[in-house]
């Protein structure tokens, strides 16, 4: 597991024990220039990749092919056209040739474009550039989930 720090993040107390922060770029992820957001990350997706996560949300288990907004807004009308529900679960798991999870620890608004604008791209954009990004790699999806649960604790 690796932890990367951008800006001056607020301690959300979501993580039980923080590993030492890495210095340098996140391997496999690009920091993108986007005039709409102060910080955006991009990641290439293969045709086989399935994207899980984001907690209770619309559109099924595989989140690929939609834009999701994490911002804690409770709109009582839940339908397939929604981009946000009432909770923020900023964890995604890429399952395919590689098994890797990403946790964006921030109380700010986060937009996940998971193969919607471009099927082979995952773009995560933050309205507030202060964030801790955790990258969790494993031999299987279960390995990644196990490490993530150690990071945030049991429910």
d(CA 153, CA 29): 26
Task: Find the domain containing 132 and state its range.
Answer: 2-152
46-89: per-residue pLDDT in tens? 999 999 998 877 778 999 999 988 876 556 666 666 555 556 68
Per cent of the chain over pLDDT 90 is: 64
Q: What integer pLDDT is reported at residue 55 of this predicted model?
A: 80
Number of structural domains found in the chain: 1
Closest to 105 (Cα-Cα) out of 20, 1, 4: 4
pLDDT band at 146; cut points 50, 70, 90: very high
Q: CATH number of the domain that 97 lies in?
A: 2.60.40.1760
103-140: per-residue pLDDT in tens? 999 988 899 999 999 999 999 999 888 999 999 999 99
Q: What integer pLDDT is reported at residue 42 of this predicted model?
A: 92
What is the value of pTM for the model shown? 0.87
Q: What integer pLDDT is reported at residue 82 of this predicted model?
A: 57
Please give the angle made by the CA atoms of 143, 21 and 11, to the nearest 5 degrees: 90
| Average pLDDT in the chain | 88
Please give the angle made by the CA atoms of 129, 65 and 96, to the nearest 5 degrees: 90
Per cent of the chain over pLDDT 70 is: 88
């Amino acid at each position: 597991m690796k932890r990367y720090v951008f800006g001056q993040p607020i301690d959300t107390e979501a993580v039980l024990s923080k590993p030492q922060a890495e210095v340098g770029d996140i391997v496999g992820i690009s920091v993108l220039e986007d005039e709409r957001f102060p910080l955006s990350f991009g990641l290439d997706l293969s045709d086989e990749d399935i994207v899980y996560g984001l907690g209770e949300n619309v559109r099924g288990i595989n989140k690929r092919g939609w834009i999701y907004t994490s911002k804690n807004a409770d709109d009582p009308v839940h339908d397939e056209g929604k981009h946000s529900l009432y909770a923020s679960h900023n964890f995604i798991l890429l399952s395919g040739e590689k098994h890797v999870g990403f946790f964006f620890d921030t109380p700010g608004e986060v937009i996940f474009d998971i193969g919607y604008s471009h099927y082979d791209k995952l773009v995560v954009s933050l309205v507030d550039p202060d964030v801790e990004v955790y990258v969790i790699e494993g031999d299987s999806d279960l390995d990644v989930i196990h490490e993530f649960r150690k990071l945030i604790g049991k429910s």
